[in-house]
Amino acid sequence: MEACYLRLESAINDVVIKTHPFAEIIYWGPHLSHFSPGDAQSLSRPVANGRLDVDSPVTLMAESGHGLFGSPGLEGHRDGLDGSPIFTTVNVQRTGQSLTLTSEDEVAGLRLTSEIILDACGVLQVRHGLTNLFTTAWQVNRFAVTLPVAEYARDVMAFHGRWIREFQPHRVRLEHDSFVIENRRGRTSHEHFPALMTGTPGFSESQGSVWGAHLGWSGNHRLRAEVKTDGRRYLQAEALYLPGEMALAEDETLWTPWLYASHSSRGLNGMSQQFHQFLRSNIIKFVQDKPRPVHLNTWEGIYFDHDPAYIMKMAEEAKALGVERFIIDDGWFKGRNDDFAALGDWYLDEGKYPQGLQPVIEHVKGLGMEFGIWVEPEMISPNSDLYRAHPDWVLALDDYSQILGRHQLVLNITLPEAFDYLLERMSWLLGEHNIDYVKWDMNRELVQPGHGRRAAADAQTRAFYRLLDTLRSRFPHIEFESCSAGGGRIDYEVLTRCHRFWASDNNDALERNIIQRGMSYFFPPEVMGAHIGNHQCHATYRQHSIEFRGLTALFGHLGLELDPVNADAKEREGYRHYAALYKQWREVIHTGTQWRIDMPDATTLVQGIVSQDKRQGLFTVSQLAMPDYTLLAPLRVAGLDAGARYRITLLDHPNILITDEGGHTMRQLPAWMTTPHIASGEWLMQAGISLPVLDPESAILIGFERV
C-alpha cells in the first residue's frame, strides 16, 4: 500500500506519522508552519553496506522483525510460538489531533491498536492495546511505547532518589547503547520516578531542545533511552511484568499505560509548562473549584499518641493560625499504638476515642475547617485481627514466607473477599463520618507479590485503582491524597484519581528545595503537598529558621506538619505569617506559569511563578550552601511582559538581612531593597536585578507587580 503521511499539530510541536504499510513516527519536533505530505519523502533513508539489504524502520511498535536490533516494543509468545510479530496497518481513524491506528499480524494472531493524541498544550499521549486473536493464550513478556527523538538529543536526564530524598536529578551524555530505569518495587517508587528527559547537549532550564516523557503508571516499570548503532535514537517506556504475570486469552486486550511526552525548544521550562498546562486542563480535577486549603496534618505533631481532648486543642490552635483543613494521621484505629500492629483493623480505637470520632469531627467543623483522615488500606499487620482471621489474604506466593517491611505485609486486594472487606470498611469510615479528605498511604514495597503460585504485581496495582475508583464514585465529595511514605506513588495515572501528593516524608527545608524542584518538572504546585515542619526536622535533625521553612513550603499546597499547641510564640507567629502569605498568593501560585532560573552557582536555587496575565510575578531565591562567588549573579527574571513596567518589592526575607545597617554577609544591600524601584519587564528579563548575599540555608521572596 502507498505510504501515507499524517501530521498531528499543536501550536508548539508536531508529530508526523507514516501510516502504511507499517506505522512509523518520522518527525516529532517544533511546530511546522507548513507541511505537505510530499515533503516527508526527503527522509527516505539510504541502505548502508555491510548490514541488512533493506531499510529498517523504528516502527510504532518497534518490532524486531523489521531488522531493529535494539530493544523491541513487544516480546512474548504463544507457548513458544508466534514470538516475532510484524504488524501491518489495516485501519486509520483521525478525529482532530487524535489518531487511532489498527494493525494486525495474521500469522501470529495479534491485533495492535495504537492511540496517539497531541493536545493543544503540546503534550503527546500514546498507548497501545494488544489483542490476542487466537484461542490459545499469548504470553506477554514486554509491551512498550516507543518514541523516536532527534539524533542531537544526546544528553539524558532522569531522577534517582530514595525515601526522604526523592526527585534527585542526574544526567548522562549518551553516545551509544542504552540508559535504562527499571523499577521493581511494586509502586511508582521513591527511587525511579518514571520519566526521562533528553535533549541537546547541555540543555538547561531555559536553553535547548528537550523531549520529556512520563509513564502514567503506579507499578513496576522500565524506561529506556537508546542509541542505535546507526545513530537513530528513541525513548521507550513500559509497565514491567514479572515472569508469567501477563497472558492474553482469546479476544482479550492488554493496554500499555499512557505515555505522556512533550517536546520543547525552550529548554526544561517549556517542557514543564506544557505538562503543567496539560494537567490543569485534562487531569487535575478538584472536587470543588476552590482555593487549595491550608492543611494541618497531625503526624509529626503527635504521631500515634491520640487524645481527643488534645487533638481538639490542636484544632483550635490550628484555626487561630489560619489552617483550613485538619487531618488526623495514623493512630486512630483499633490497636494502632505503634507501627508494629493493627493495619487491616479499620475500626475505631474506642480506648482512644471513647465517644467516637464524631465529637472531634464536629469540633473541627465547628471551627470552620474541613476534616481529613489517614488510611493505609492495602496493608495488613501480622499482629492484627484481620491477619489472625485471614492469614491467607496476604499478597504472597504460596509456600514462601513473606518478608516484612515497616513490620507489615501487603493485603492481596486481587482477592475479591479482601477487596470487598476493604470496600465495606472504607465505606463505613467515609459514609458514617463527615469526612472531606483522605490521606491514602502505602508504606512498603511488594516483594514476591503473588496470588497462588502466580506473580500479581500488575493485578495488585489495577485492584488499587479499582478500589479507589469505587470509593470515589461512592463518595464524590471527598478529596484524596496519594501519600505512599511520602513520594512513593506520584504519577499521572494516580493523579487521575487523587487531588494531591505528599511529596516526601522529609520536611527539612534544605532537602525539600531539591525534592520540590525535581517534582516541579512534571507537576504544578497545586498538587504538591508542602508542609512547614518542626523547627528540628525529624528526618534529618537539622534546624532551620521559620522563614526558610515557610518560604520553602510556599510554592506548593501549603500545610503545617507539627503540634501547634506546644510550639513557642515566635514559631507560632511564623506559621500564622506563612499561612497568610500563602493565602494571599495561592491564586497566582496555583494558576500561574512556573519558571526555574538557570544560575551559574549551583548553591543558589531560583524559581518563580508569573500570573497568567503577567501582572504579578513571585520569585524565591534559596541559598542552599555557602555561595561559590562573593556576589550572587543577577536574577534575570522570566515570564514578564517585556513592554510593561514592574515595581520590585522584597516580600519576605530572613531576619538577619535587616540587622545593623546592612546584612549579615553584606555591608550594603542592593539599592532596590531599600529604595522603591520600578523597571521595564524587558530590562528585568535581559539585565536582571542584583541579589543580596544570602546566608546558607536561607531564602528571600521577591515580588514584581505591573504598574
Q: Write out the residues near ligand DGJ by the rule CB under 6 A.
A: 299, 329-330, 374, 441, 443, 483, 485-486, 502, 505
Q: Tell how strand 123-132 and strand 259-264 pair up.
A: antiparallel
Q: Which residue is nearest to ligand DGJ (CB)?
A: 330
DSSP 485-554: HHHSS-SHHHHTS-SEEE--S---HHHHHHHHHHHHTTS-GGGEEEEEE-SB-TTT--B--HHHHHHHHH
Residue 638 gets the label, from left (phi > 0), alpha (psi -120 to 50) or beta, of beta
Residue 329 vs 479, nearer CB to ligand DGJ: 329
Closest distance of CB 299 from ligand DGJ, Å: 4
350: its cell numbers: 474506642
Residue 515 vs 637, nearer CB to ligand DGJ: 515
The single-letter DSSP state of residue 568 is -
Considering the candidates 14, 349, 458, 505, report the single residue annotated as catalytic: 505
112: its cell numbers: 495492535
Note whether 516 and 622 are within 8 A (CB).
Answer: no
Residue 153 vs 530, nearer CB to ligand DGJ: 530
Closest distance of CB 185 from ligand DGJ, Å: 16
DSSP 465-493: HHHHHHHHHH-TT-EEEE-HHHHSS-SHH
Picking from 197, 185, 270, the residue whose alpha carbon sits closest to that of residue 237 is 197
Closest distance of CB 387 from ligand DGJ, Å: 18
In the block, which residue shows the cell 513592554? 643
Closest distance of CB 374 from ligand DGJ, Å: 5
Residue 441 vs 493, nearer CB to ligand DGJ: 441
In the block, which residue shows the cell 524559581? 607
The single-letter DSSP state of residue 292 is -
C-alpha dist (Å) from residue 430 to 286, 296, 368, 434, 621 = 18, 20, 19, 7, 42
Residue 13 vs 297, nearer CB to ligand DGJ: 297
Residue 244 gets the label, from left (phi > 0), alpha (psi -120 to 50) or beta, of left
Burial of 292 (C-beta count, 10 Å sphere; 0-12/13-18/19+): buried
C-alpha dist (Å) from residue 398 to 136, 246, 464 = 26, 18, 21
Closest distance of CB 304 from ligand DGJ, Å: 8
Considering the candidates 82, 119, 441, 458, report the single residue annotated as catalytic: 441
Handedness of CA 442, 447, 452, 455 (dihedral sign): positive
Active site residue 345: no
487 vs 112: CA distance, rounded Å? 34
User: How many CB atoms neighbour CB 337 within 10 A?
Assistant: 15
Residue 154 vs 295, nearer CB to ligand DGJ: 295
Closest distance of CB 337 from ligand DGJ, Å: 12
Residue 299 vs 582, nearer CB to ligand DGJ: 299
Residue 270 vs 486, nearer CB to ligand DGJ: 486
609 vs 611: CA distance, rounded Å? 7
Residue 502 vs 585, nearer CB to ligand DGJ: 502
380 vs 395: CA distance, rounded Å? 10
Residue 455 vs 485, nearer CB to ligand DGJ: 485
SS in 3 state form for 605-622? EEEEEECCCCCEEEEEEE
Closest distance of CB 561 from ligand DGJ, Å: 8
SS in 3 state form for 88-151? EEEEEEEECCEEEEEEEECCCCEEEEEEEEECCCCEEEEEEEEEECCCCCEEEEEEEEEEEECC
Closest distance of CB 329 from ligand DGJ, Å: 5
Closest distance of CB 65 from ligand DGJ, Å: 46
In the beta sheet, which residues pair with residue 264? 210
Instruction: Report the amino acid identity of residue 618.
Output: L
Closest distance of CB 339 from ligand DGJ, Å: 6
Closest distance of CB 343 from ligand DGJ, Å: 9
Active site residue 598: no
Residue 224 vs 336, nearer CB to ligand DGJ: 336
468 vs 616: CA distance, rounded Å? 38
Question: Which residues are part of the catalytic machinery?
Answer: 441, 505
